[in-house]
Structure 1
Amino acid sequence: MDIELVRTFLEVNRLRHFGRAAERLFVTPAAVSARVRLLEEHLGAVLFSRARNNIHLTPAGQRFLPHAENMVRSWQRAVTSVGGGERTDMVALGSLHSIWNVLLDGWLAQVYGQDLGVALQVELLSSQAVVSRMREQSLDLALMYEPPQARDLRVDAVSRVSLALFADRPGLTADEALSGYVHVDWGVQFAMSLSRALPGLPEPVLRVDTPEIARDFLCRRGGAAFLPETVSGGGSADGPLHPVTGAPRIDRTVYLVESAEAAESAVRDRVRAALAAWLEARA
């Protein structure tokens, strides 16, 4: 099976949008659709539900997802091995997509500008995949909201994301804004805090796993979502969203996770220090 078919499947799942996946893969939307159809033919199953503005995995797609991630990971390892062996200066860094875009935009350029003598492999993953990869020791460092409390993992709080309710129109009350509520997956603790703060919260009109998708939807279709100011502000051509007065703010702690059993590494220490300095400067 062509590994690019699997990469395309993962990118569409991550972005929930064929057009944006095409941009990331440097192909046309038609090519993305063709790749997904060919993969579905190979597997004999439909992988995506293609409802308008709500592309999501079918049950078959959910079952295929961990296999797809393993296939791409194994291929990357094979390429590295055949190409001359593992680099001793390589650090594999994993992150949730929402953490990376909110806190680490621009960090890579700064790190490479400092010439730390390190090569980075960055992967944006789900929480479950991060934990699995840490335990496989195929990630050196990872950023996540809700790390497991386990003896084999070292966990340090390194930053915080403050979330507020933003709507597409100014002057709305919380009740008015929440009539078009879009739920962003900020983790289980966020959902619990939200249910305590807003016990009458209506069912969301849409559930997404990245704030950028929520912002795009709000700008095009209206509604409200809990977002950080860095995502909700006016940097987009669609214009800024508007804070909803009287709505609660919910903070999410960001943790840096690494294996407690990994050997000491000066290279990993340099990356950890660069991350800490960047996050402290943005606090």
Structure 2
Amino acid sequence: MDIELVRTFLEVNRLRHFGRAAERLFVTPAAVSARVRLLEEHLGAVLFSRARNNIHLTPAGQRFLPHAENMVRSWQRAVTSVGGGERTDMVALGSLHSIWNVLLDGWLAQVYGQDLGVTLQVELLSSQAVVSRMREQSLDLALMYEPPQARDLRVDAVSRVSLALFADRPGLTADEALSGYVHVDWGVQFAMSLSRALPGLPEPVLRVDTPEIARDFLCRRGGAAFLPETVSGGGSADGPLHPVTGAPRIDRTVYLVESAEAAESAVRDRVRAALAAWLEAPAPSDRTALS
């Protein structure tokens, strides 16, 4: 099976959008659709439900997801091994998609501009995949919201994301805005904090796992969602988003996770220091807005 078919499946699942997946993969949307159809033919199952503005995995797609992640990971390891063995300057960094786009947009360009003598492998993963990969020690460092408290993992708080309720129209009350509520998966603690702050919160009209999808939906179809405060006035080409006065604000702590059992590494230390310096620096307005 062509590994690119599997990569395409993972990218569509991550972005929940064929067009955006095509942009990330540097192919046309038609090519993405063709790859997914071919993969479905190979597996004999439909992997995605293609409802308008709501692409999500079918039960078969959910079952295939962990296998797809393992296939791509195994392929990457094989390429590294056959291509010359393990590199001592390589650091594998994992992150949740929402953390990367909110806090680390532009960081890679800065790191490579500093010539740290590091080759980075960056992967955007689910929380479950991050934990699994850390325990396999196939990731050196990872950024996540809710790391497990385990002896084999070292966990440090490194940043914070402040979330506020944004709507497509100005002047709405919280109750008015929440009639079109779009739920972004900011983690279990966020959901618990939100239910305490808004016990009468209605069922969402849409559930998504990345803020970019929510923002795009709000700008095109209307509604409200909890997004980073830095999107104020940003929105998209379709229009700005507006903060909802009187709605609660919820903070999410970002943690840097690494294996407590990993051997000391000067290269990993340099990457950790570069991350800390970037996250501690005051963020310019164009750095933390969703892109």
How far 1:230 sits from its partner (Å)? 2.8
Q: Which runs of 5+ in 2 are unaligned?
A: 284-291
How far 1:88 sits from its partner (Å)? 0.2
Task: Assess if the C-alpha contact under 8 Å between 2:48 and 2:58 holds in 1.
Answer: yes
C-alpha distance in structure 2 between counterparts of 1:72 and 1:15, whole Å? 17
How far 1:25 sits from its partner (Å)? 1.1
Report the equivalent of 2:75.
75
Q: Superposition RMSD on alpha carbons, in Å?
A: 1.0
How far 1:281 sits from its partner (Å)? 0.4
Q: Secondary structure at the match of 1:251?
A: strand
Deviations 1:211-246 (A, max 9, x none): 000000000000000000234542632332000000
Identity within the alignment, % = 99
Task: Assess if the C-alpha contact under 8 Å between 2:231 and 2:241 holds in 1.
Answer: no
C-alpha distance in structure 1 between counterparts of 2:43 and 2:232, whole Å? 39
Task: Assess if the C-alpha contact under 8 Å between 2:95 and 2:130 holds in 1.
Answer: yes
Task: Assess if the C-alpha contact under 8 Å between 1:215 and 1:232 holds in 2.
Answer: no
How far 1:39 sits from its partner (Å)? 0.6
Task: Assess if the C-alpha contact under 8 Å between 1:102 and 1:231 holds in 2.
Answer: no
How far 1:27 sits from its partner (Å)? 1.3
Deviations 1:232-282 (A, max 9, x none): 542632332000000000000000000000000000000000000100003
Task: Assess if the C-alpha contact under 8 Å between 1:15 and 1:21 holds in 2.
Answer: yes
Deviations 1:113-152 (A, max 9, x none): 1111111000000000000000000000000000000000
Count, aligned residues? 283
How far 1:24 sits from its partner (Å)? 1.1
Deviations 1:33-87 (A, max 9, x none): 1111111111111100011100000111001001000100111111111111111
Q: Secondary structure at the match of 2:180?
A: coil
Tell me, yes or no, if structure 1 residue 239 matches structure 2 residue 239. Answer: yes
C-alpha distance in structure 2 between counterparts of 1:180 and 1:113, whole Å? 43
Report the equivalent of 1:30.
30
C-alpha distance in structure 2 between counterparts of 1:267 and 1:36, whole Å? 38
Deviating 4+ runs (over 6 angstroms): none
Moved more, 145-154 or 74-83: 74-83
Deviations 1:86-133 (A, max 9, x none): 110100000000000000000000001111111100000000000000
Task: Assess if the C-alpha contact under 8 Å between 2:219 and 2:235 holds in 1.
Answer: no
Q: Secondary structure at the match of 1:277?
A: helix
Moved more, 161-170 or 31-40: 31-40
Moved more, 95-104 or 238-247: 238-247
Task: Assess if the C-alpha contact under 8 Å between 1:195 and 1:201 holds in 2.
Answer: yes
Task: Assess if the C-alpha contact under 8 Å between 2:219 and 2:236 holds in 1.
Answer: no
Q: Secondary structure at the match of 2:139?
A: coil
How far 1:29 sits from its partner (Å)? 1.1
C-alpha distance in structure 1 between counterparts of 2:143 and 2:152, whole Å? 16
Q: Secondary structure at the match of 2:207?
A: strand
Q: Please, what TM-score do these two structures have when normalized by structure 1?
A: 0.98
Task: Assess if the C-alpha contact under 8 Å between 1:211 and 1:231 holds in 2.
Answer: no
How far 1:171 sits from its partner (Å)? 0.1
When residues 235 and 52 of structure 1 are mapped into structure 2, their CA distance, relative to the original with a 3 A threshold, is: closer
Q: Please, what TM-score do these two structures have when normalized by structure 2?
A: 0.96
Task: Assess if the C-alpha contact under 8 Å between 2:127 and 2:144 holds in 1.
Answer: yes
When residues 211 and 4 of structure 1 are mapped into structure 2, their CA distance, relative to the original with a 3 A threshold, is: same
Task: Assess if the C-alpha contact under 8 Å between 2:103 and 2:279 holds in 1.
Answer: yes
C-alpha distance in structure 1 between counterparts of 2:156 and 2:128, whole Å? 18
Deviations 1:158-196 (A, max 9, x none): 000000000000000000000000000000000000000
Task: Assess if the C-alpha contact under 8 Å between 2:215 and 2:235 holds in 1.
Answer: no
When residues 232 and 213 of structure 1 are mapped into structure 2, their CA distance, relative to the original with a 3 A threshold, is: farther
C-alpha distance in structure 2 between counterparts of 1:157 and 1:260, whole Å? 15
Report the equivalent of 2:272.
272
C-alpha distance in structure 2 between counterparts of 1:197 and 1:275, whole Å? 32
Task: Assess if the C-alpha contact under 8 Å between 1:215 and 1:231 holds in 2.
Answer: no
C-alpha distance in structure 2 between counterparts of 1:87 and 1:282, whole Å? 34
Task: Assess if the C-alpha contact under 8 Å between 1:99 and 1:144 holds in 2.
Answer: yes
Task: Assess if the C-alpha contact under 8 Å between 1:180 and 1:204 holds in 2.
Answer: yes
Task: Assess if the C-alpha contact under 8 Å between 1:173 and 1:246 holds in 2.
Answer: yes
Q: Which runs of 5+ in 1 are unaligned?
A: none
C-alpha distance in structure 1 between counterparts of 2:263 and 2:232, whole Å? 41
